[in-house]
Structures are given as C-alpha cells and as structure tokens.
Amino acid sequence: MVERFLVYGVGGLATGSLYVLVALGIVLVYRSTRVLNFAHGDTAVLVTFVAFSLLSVHAPFWIAFPLSLAVGAAGSALFYLGILLPAQRRGSNPVSQLILTLGLALIIQGATGLVWGAEPKVLEFPLSDSDTVSLGPVVLSHLALATLGVGVVGAAGLYLFIQKTRTGLAMRALSQDLEGVQTLGIPARRLLATAWALSAVLGGTAGVFLAPVLFVDPHFMLEPFLKGFAAAVLGGLDSLPGAILGGLLLGVAESLFGGFISVKFKASFAFGIILVVLLLRPEGLLGRPFKERV
Amino acid sequence: MDLVTRHQQDIRLLRKPWQVVYVFVLLVGFLLLPAVASDYTLYIVTFVLVYSIGALGQNLLIGYAGQISLGQVGFLAVGAYAFAHAAKTGIPFFPSLLLAGSAGAVAGVIVGIPSLRLKGPYLAIATLGFGIAAAQALTNWEWISGGRMGLVVPKAELLGFDLGGTTATYYLYGAISAVFILATYNLTRSFVGRAFIALRDSDVAAEVLGVHLTRYKVLAFAVSSFYTAVHGALWGQLLAYLEPQMFTFIESVTLLAAVIIGGIGTVAGSIFGAAFVVLVPQLLSDYREGVPILFGVLIVLVMLLEPLGLYGRWIKTKLYFQNFPFR
C-alpha cells in the first residue's frame, strides 16, 4: 500500500513537473500582460513539430531542441507585438484579448495540420521510456527522470532569472505597475515581448518532453495545456511559486486519484479542481486576493 | 430619419413597412426552398438552423449579458444525452426536447451560481473547466454514453408521422429555430434583455438602477444553456447517433467563433455566424485543415477591425447605399 502510494506519488511528480512548466508559462504572461493565453498549448505544439522535423532529418537533439524553442519564442513575441499590442492600444477589454489568443490557437492548429498532417507521429527522442532506474521501491524510466530534471531546471532557471537579474527585476516591477515602469524609462514593450517569448520556451519544453509519451498531432497539447491551466489556477494566476506548487500538487493528486479511485475519470479530475478552487478561493493557493476598483 | 416618440415604437419588432416585406420574402423563401433545392442543400441548411439556436444562446450570454462561456460543449452534451435517453424511453419528440432544454437550464444554473463571483478571464476558466469536465464525465459514463459503441438516437415521430425525411426535418427544425429566433428578439427587447445589456455594460451601475444582479446573471446562464441544450438535442437527432468524440473543446470554440464572426450582440449576427461556421467547412471540404486557419484569422481580424462582425459589415454596406451620393 505504502509502496503503491510512493510509486503513484513519484510518477505524479514527474507529470506534475511538466504541468509546472506549462503553468509557469501561463502565469508569466498573465502576470505581465493580464492576458490568458489560450494559444499556449498550440505554441508548444508548433515547437514540438519543428523539433520533430529537425530530428527526422537527423539533426542532433542538442541543436534541434534549442532551435525549435527559438522558433516558438519568436512566434509568440511576434503575436504579442503584432496583434495583441495594437489591440491593447485600441483599449480592447480582457475578454476580447482572450478571444484573440483563441484565434491564434486556431491558426496554429490549422497551420500545423496543414504542414505536418493530422496523423499521429512519433518523435525520435534520445531517452527511452522503457529503460528504468530503481530508487528503492520506486522504479522510474529514464524519460520520467529527465522530465523531473527538466521541470526542476526550468523552474529554478526562471526563478533565478526573475529574482536575480536586472531584466527580471524590471519584469517584476512591470507586473505591478505598467505606467510607473514606462515613466522610469524601462522598455516595457520589449520586456513584455520577452515574457511572451519565455512563456513559449517553457511551454515548448513541456511539449517536447511530453511528445515521447503522447503521439504528436496538432491537438496533442490540448489536454496538458488545460491541466497546466488548472495548475495555474490552483496555485494562483499571478504567482510564479504558486504555479510550481499547483503543478506538482495537481500531478500528484491526479496520479493518486487515477491509481486509487478511478482511472476513467482521471482526466476530468483536474477540471473538478478548477471549479472547487474558483469557488472556495478564487485567487488560488498563493495568489494575491484580487480587489476590484469601481 | 428614425424618429421615435413613444416607447411602444422603440420596442416594435418590425419598425418599418419594408421590414414586413423582408420577413415575408424570407418566410416564403424558406417554405419554397425544398421545391428547388437538393436533399443535400436542405440537409446543410438544417444544420445551419441547428447551429443558429446554439449561437443565439451563446450570443445571449456573451453578447447581451456580457458573461463569457467557453463551456458550451458541456451544455451541448447534457442536452444531447438527455434528449437521446428521453426519446429512447418513448417520450414523444417535443416533451423530450423540452426535457433536454430544461436539463441544460439546470446545468446552467449550477454553473451560473458559482460564476457570480467570477469575471472575465476567471469566468472563462471556470466555464471551460465545467464544459470539459461535464462532457468527459458524461461520455465516460457508459450507462449514459453507451461506451465506445456510442448511442443511437431513435427517429423522431410526431402524431404518427415519421419525421425522418430530409424535407420533414427541414420544416420541423425551421419551425423550432423560428420560435427561438422570435423568442430571442422578444427577450432582447423586453426588460429582461435590457437588464442583460445593463449588466454587460456596467454591473455596478445596473445594480444601482435596481437590476437584481444575482437573479439576472443566473437567468442569463439558464436561458443560454437552455438554447445550447436544445441545439445539442436537435444535433443528436439530426445525426441519429452520439459518440463521445463529438463533444470536445472545439465545439465550444465553434459556437464562440460563430457569435464573434457573425456579430456580437445582434440576433441576425448569430444566424450569419451559424451559417458561416457550417457552410465554410462544407465549401472547403477539400482543404479541411485550412478551416481552423480561416476561422482563426477571421476571429483576429474581426476583433481588431470590425467589432460587429459580418452583421456590422452588412449594416455599414446598407447605410452606404441608403445615403449613396453622400458619405
């Protein structure tokens, strides 16, 4: 019993660390631009497909992976500068900005389907799902281990960037007061575009590491994206530590739920969590309670 | 040009004599269409009619009451399965339809009450969560969805007539959606519709003016999900078969796209939008993968350039010709 609990728990941590990456991307954008990016998952799909193409022409993984992330980052920043920014300048409300990202999501879905086709593909990943390492009673595949590692590295890297660099400091200031930052002469638009690009990098990483488990098709990130969303809501939409906590909690809780209660309703579990969290504590576990000015 | 001196004139359904002619021409065209069109055309038009009901429901919620919902697929699933099971137990067509709509309305109230505390993006997430959870739960529950085999929806019968034929279905669905269109027009020009618009524009101001926020927000959800559930029921009846893969997030997005492309906050816009989201995939059936791109590009363009969508374009074109030499 305890062993099963451990196995499911550690497995959940591995999945959870990918939810963390997705959630961090969502929170990063939401904090800085106040936009819920519904195209987050699709950007990750784009990154994964680019990686797939590069890997299938036998580019080494260490070249293909950063290159595809760069493509995703560029696309994401371009969307912000080219579409969202003009919309914000016209004073569009949060809901119509959200709908704009939905539009982008549809465009990417269609484009990836057009270029790479709808049939599922297998990404040639350098790590295998079947070779395992035993840590006491818990058996982990190389892939799960790498996934955990990537989650930790991504989250720690983002933490260091936000907390220890000048750019990070400017970003934190930006999320508090846009006009104040602009008055101080900090290039706010460039920083916001950077936030969008970083968000795509985080999401894209999650996509590439999920690809060996799921098959790659234009819709394969929808479910993980929605889970990342749930994790972000659970932790608090404007809190980066919250995204980490939420992602790990969701991964573990979901894995335990699937292991002990019902596999069939495992997928619906995360959305149940969204509803409960929004009902009881809409700002999430670590988020600041939001007040509204009338 | 459009002088209104009394409230009665302002809320009249047909304000101009030529509008009567329009409606008459539309009605005659609708009745005569089966005489000239092929079965395939009728079938597609029937689809447009079904989608226009769902789009009207979504429009009431997002366009009039200002409450975004990305969870329409949940109400769609509730309606479709409620209808299919009611029809299977031998309940006649109209009571089953009413039952499906009511089931949807109840689901709408269940979502609406927690949503009272949420706004904008948070509401979008909550409804998204509900929609996906509800659709997944219903389709995973084998007693309801019939498992992997899917669920066969029995053919409708009305007073002993078989309603399976394309023409009969066309007329029946036309009548039902006409009722819904008329009901929407009536709702939007009544005090309820005005309360919806007031709470969309500023809920605080609306409350100060005496609009009961709780009641009207929940009512908006209930009415909208009633529409969507009826859409689901008719959709299931038309396809005669329900399978779990039908109820995905994409359906929610399609309904939202219909409202936005058609024209947010207008009844005619919903119908244009419904026609658009049904016809475009049909016309582009050789380029299926291109359809989401087109929808996406159009949504972005509409949001950026033409906030009233197709309907707004139509009004502008009409005005241009009315005032022709002058601009």
Residues B20-42: tens digit of each pLDDT: 888 888 889 888 888 888 888 88
> In this complex, which of B129, B130, B300 lies closest to A100 when CB atoms are compared?
B300
**B105 pLDDT higher than 50:** yes
Side-chain-side CA neighbours of A159 within 13 Å: the count stands at: 11
For A153, the 3-state DSSP assignment is: helix
For B306, the 3-state DSSP assignment is: coil
Alpha-carbon distance B69 to nearest alpha carbon in chain A (angstroms): 10
Structure token digits, residue A41: 């998952």
> In this complex, which of B124, B204, B299 lies closest to A106 when CB atoms are compared?
B299
The pLDDT of residue B50 is: 94
To the nearest whole percent, how much of chain B has pLDDT over 70? 94
| Residue in chain B lying closest to A107 (CA) | B293
Question: Average pLDDT of B6-26?
Answer: 77
Q: What is the mean pLDDT of chain B?
A: 84
Residues B49-100: tens digit of each pLDDT: 999 999 999 999 988 888 888 889 999 999 999 998 888 888 888 888 999 9
Residue B75's DSSP bridge partners are none
- Alpha-carbon span A156 to A150, nearest angstrom: 10
Contact indicator for B285, B296 with CB cutoff of 8 Å:
no
- On chain A, the residues whose CB falls within 8 A of the CB of B137 are 265, 268
For A111, the 3-state DSSP assignment is: helix
Residue B157's DSSP bridge partners are B162
The pLDDT of residue A293 is: 45
Asked if the Cβ–Cβ distance from A282 to B117 is below 8 Å, we say: yes
pLDDT in tens, chain A (294 residues): 777 888 888 888 888 998 999 999 999 999 888 888 989 999 999 999 999 999 888 888 888 899 999 999 999 999 999 988 888 888 777 778 888 898 899 899 889 988 888 788 877 777 766 677 777 677 778 888 888 888 889 999 999 998 899 999 998 888 888 888 889 988 888 999 999 999 999 999 999 988 888 888 888 888 888 889 889 888 888 888 889 999 999 999 888 888 788 777 776 788 778 778 877 877 778 877 655 444
Nearest-5° Cα angle at A199, A150 to A190: 135
Rg of chain B over Cα atoms, rounded to whole angstroms, equals 20
| Residue in chain B lying closest to A119 (CA) | B289
B133 — phi, psi (to 5°)? Answer: -60, -45
Asked if the Cβ–Cβ distance from B137 to A275 is below 8 Å, we say: no
- Alpha-carbon span A210 to B129, nearest angstrom: 22
Which ipTM value was assigned to this complex?
0.81
Nearest to B187 by CA among B164, B220, B162: B220
Query: Looking up tokens 């990456």, which residue turns up?
Result: A21
> In this complex, which of B118, B128, B293 lies closest to A107 when CB atoms are compared?
B293
B158 — phi, psi (to 5°)? Answer: -130, 115
For A72, the 3-state DSSP assignment is: helix
| Residue in chain B lying closest to A117 (CA) | B289
The pTM score is 0.84
Instruction: Show Cβ contacts of residue B321 under 8 Å, excluding neighbours closer than 6 positions.
Output: none
Q: Which long-range contacts (CB under 8 A, 24 or more apart) does B8-17 make?
A: B11/B189, B11/B190, B13/B185, B13/B186, B13/B189
Structure token digits, residue A165: 């660099």
- Alpha-carbon span A266 to B259, nearest angstrom: 32
Instruction: Choose between A24 and B303: higher pLDDT.
Output: A24
- On chain A, the residues whose CB falls within 8 A of the CB of B124 are 36, 95, 98
> In this complex, which of A98, A270, A278 lies closest to B114 when CB atoms are compared?
A278
The pLDDT of residue A294 is: 40
- On chain B, the residues whose CB falls within 8 A of the CB of A264 are 140
| Residue in chain A lying closest to B260 (CA) | A99
Residues B214-264: tens digit of each pLDDT: 889 999 999 999 999 999 999 988 888 888 788 888 888 889 888 888 888
The pLDDT of residue A290 is: 59
Q: What is the DSSP secondary structure assignment for residue B64, as one 8-state letter?
A: I
Asked if the Cβ–Cβ distance from A274 to B114 is below 8 Å, we say: no
